[in-house]
Amino acid sequence: MAKPIIVHADWDPEAAVWVATTPDLRGLVTEAESIEALRAKLPGMILDLLEDSGVSDLPASIEIVARSSDRLTAAE
């Protein structure tokens, strides 16, 4: 069984989107306004990239690791 594709999603506060990349699959870079939209978008993109690269052993799953941070400021 193939290992899962691990996708890293980072919040870009300037663009107000989640940016998704993975070292597991060359060429996967996408963005979406919500994690839910990203989850809906990723399977089709991943299947297309796997097909283009000739991979026949499909991954069992997609795991999304999301990261967001906020700067703390002192109360006024």
Write out pLDDT tens, residues 35-74. 999 999 999 999 999 888 887 777 778 999 999 988 888 8
* Domain residue limits, the chain: 1-31
Q: Virtual CA dihedral for 53, 64, 14, 28, nearest 10 degrees?
A: 0
Spatial neighbors of 25 by CB under 8 A, at least 6 apart, are: 5, 46, 49, 50, 53
Q: Which amino acid is at 64?
A: I
Residue 5's pLDDT band (cuts 50, 70, 90): very high
Q: pTM value?
A: 0.82
Query: Which residue's entry shows tokens 């999304």?
Result: 64
